[in-house]
């Protein structure tokens, strides 16, 4: 354990808890460390001073503080819930997340049998109120199954199905944080448990497409226009708009492929996948490879022909680019002749 965490916590008892301990026991890389202690804010500020990183409140309601690093790693300091670590662990979601190890010492505190569930690749609720206490745990259950290769035990799965209608209750940013980490198989599982319908999604959107490796593509395929109800990033919003408005090219001619790429790049292949038009993949790839690095004409070339600055310049340059892609012109002189004819 980072000695600077020990120094930040001081002499008060503190424990490494939750996913950090789970991942350590599984032999996985530990990215996010969670420390339960008496004074989270003070510990976080001291640790930030010792180790660098940005310190900020993670949850004002729960009194949790985070120190985040540019590498993507985080250290969270959270208050103990109850008077003992056992009482704190009783408030957690799944047994594999309800274990603790003291910062000073090597003993494992495991009142709910989390270590045995790790060995069995089993995801089991700490208590029957798990999803009532925090409905986000419904999606977290699917995400943990997905990421860890675990399976919900029978009783926990029954609890999830009974609570599925509450999946949309948490704040949008919390829901999105879990959805963004799901694989297509994870979405299939969420659908099977009845979680997608309350969120306005459907796995049918994935059944009809050939998946491509574009961040956010699966979210658009599952939620369609409904994705924009969530607080998505500007890049994901732009991707969604492009996919949702894309239309299949009428044919695979260079002209039509150019027009399609003009509307959909840099996600032309994703748009084809969304449309189910995978037969046009090769035409787009060929057009990308063949695309010249420099244009035949620039704005100043058109202005030298006597045109005033304005939208018409852009239209003419676009015309030249399309005709070049279609193969009707190939040289600068041919491009200038085309522009002159347009200006007559």
pLDDT in tens, 119-161: 999 999 999 999 999 999 999 999 999 999 999 999 999 999 9
Is 80 exceeded by the pLDDT of residue 196?
A: yes
Q: What is the mean pLDDT of the chain?
A: 93
The pLDDT score that the predictor gives to residue 2 is 78
One domain, residues 100 and 8: yes
The pLDDT score that the predictor gives to residue 209 is 66
Among all chains, which residue has been given the structure tokens 């180790």?
A: 51
One domain, residues 180 and 68: no
The pLDDT score that the predictor gives to residue 264 is 97
The pLDDT score that the predictor gives to residue 211 is 66
Is 80 exceeded by the pLDDT of residue 265?
A: yes
The residue ranking higher by pLDDT, 203 or 175, is 175
Count of domains observed in the chain: 4
**Domain span at residue 309?**
299-343
One domain, residues 116 and 130: no
The pLDDT score that the predictor gives to residue 208 is 64
* Mean pLDDT in residue range 162-176: 96
The residue ranking higher by pLDDT, 205 or 295, is 295
d(CA 307, CA 245): 34
* Mean pLDDT in residue range 47-75: 90
One domain, residues 30 and 103: yes
Percentage of residues of the chain with pLDDT beyond 70: 98
One domain, residues 19 and 46: yes
d(CA 268, CA 243): 9
* Mean pLDDT in residue range 94-102: 96
Confidence of residue 261 (pLDDT cuts 50, 70, 90): very high
The pLDDT score that the predictor gives to residue 344 is 80
One domain, residues 22 and 69: yes
* Mean pLDDT in residue range 81-102: 93
Find out whether 166 and 136 touch, Cβ atoms under 8 Å: no
Is 80 exceeded by the pLDDT of residue 66?
A: yes
One domain, residues 149 and 43: no
d(CA 40, CA 36): 8
d(CA 10, CA 33): 17
Residue 48 lies in a domain: yes
The pLDDT score that the predictor gives to residue 203 is 87
* Mean pLDDT in residue range 245-272: 96
One domain, residues 160 and 104: no
The pLDDT score that the predictor gives to residue 31 is 87
d(CA 203, CA 223): 9
The pLDDT score that the predictor gives to residue 215 is 77
Residue 247 lies in a domain: yes
One domain, residues 9 and 96: yes
The pLDDT score that the predictor gives to residue 164 is 97
Residue 210 lies in a domain: no
Residue 235 lies in a domain: no
What is the reported pTM? 0.85
The pLDDT score that the predictor gives to residue 128 is 96
Residue 277 lies in a domain: yes
* Mean pLDDT in residue range 86-112: 92
One domain, residues 92 and 170: no
Residue 309 lies in a domain: yes
Residue 177 sits in a domain whose CATH number is 1.10.110.30
Is 70 exceeded by the pLDDT of residue 1?
A: no
Of the three residues 270, 290, 310, the one that is the final residue of a domain is 290
One domain, residues 22 and 112: yes
One domain, residues 113 and 142: no
Of the three residues 166, 199, 232, the one that is the final residue of a domain is 199
Residue 250 lies in a domain: yes
What one-character-per-residue DSSP string does 214-268 give? -TTHHHHHHHGGGGGGS---HHHHHHHHHHHH----SS--HHHHHHHHHHHTT-H
Is 90 exceeded by the pLDDT of residue 85?
A: yes
Residue 218 lies in a domain: no
* Mean pLDDT in residue range 301-330: 94
Most confident range (mean pLDDT) of 31-45, 50-64, 204-218 is: 31-45
pLDDT in tens, 203-250: 887 776 666 767 799 999 999 999 999 999 999 999 999 999 999 999
């Amino acid at each position: 354990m980072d000695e600077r965490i020990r120094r930040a916590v001081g002499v008060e008892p503190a424990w490494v808890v939750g996913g950090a301990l789970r991942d350590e026991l599984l032999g996985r890389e530990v990215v996010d460390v969670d420390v339960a202690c008496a004074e989270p804010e003070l510990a976080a500020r001291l640790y930030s001073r010792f180790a660098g990183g940005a310190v900020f409140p993670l949850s004002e309601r729960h009194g949790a503080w985070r120190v985040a690093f540019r590498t993507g790693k985080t250290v969270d300091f959270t208050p103990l819930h109850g008077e003992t670590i056992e009482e704190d662990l009783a408030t957690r979601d799944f047994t594999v997340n309800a274990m603790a190890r003291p910062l000073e010492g090597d003993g494992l505190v495991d009142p709910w049998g989390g270590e045995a569930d790790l060995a069995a690749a089993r995801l089991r609720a700490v208590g029957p109120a798990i999803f009532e206490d925090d409905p986000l745990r419904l999606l977290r259950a699917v995400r943990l199954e997905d990421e860890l290769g675990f399976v919900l035990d029978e009783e926990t799965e029954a609890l999830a199905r009974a609570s599925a209608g509450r999946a949309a209750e948490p704040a949008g940013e919390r829901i999105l944080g879990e959805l963004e980490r799901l694989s297509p198989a994870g979405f299939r599982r969420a659908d099977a448990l009845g979680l997608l319908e309350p969120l306005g999604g459907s796995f049918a959107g994935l059944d009809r497409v050939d998946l491509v490796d574009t961040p956010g593509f699966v979210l658009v395929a599952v939620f369609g226009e409904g994705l924009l109800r969530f607080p998505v990033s500007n890049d994901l919003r732009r991707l969604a708009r492009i996919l949702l408005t894309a239309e299949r090219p009428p044919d695979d001619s260079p002209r039509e492929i150019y027009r399609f790429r003009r509307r959909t790049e840099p996600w032309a292949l994703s748009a084809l996948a969304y449309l189910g038009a995978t037969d046009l993949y090769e035409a787009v790839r060929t057009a990308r490879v063949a695309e010249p690095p420099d244009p035949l004409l620039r704005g100043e070339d058109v202005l030298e022909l006597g045109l005033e600055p304005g939208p018409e310049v852009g239209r003419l340059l676009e015309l030249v680019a399309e005709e070049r892609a279609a193969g009707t012109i190939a040289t600068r002189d041919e491009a200038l002749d085309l522009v002159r004819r347009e200006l007559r």
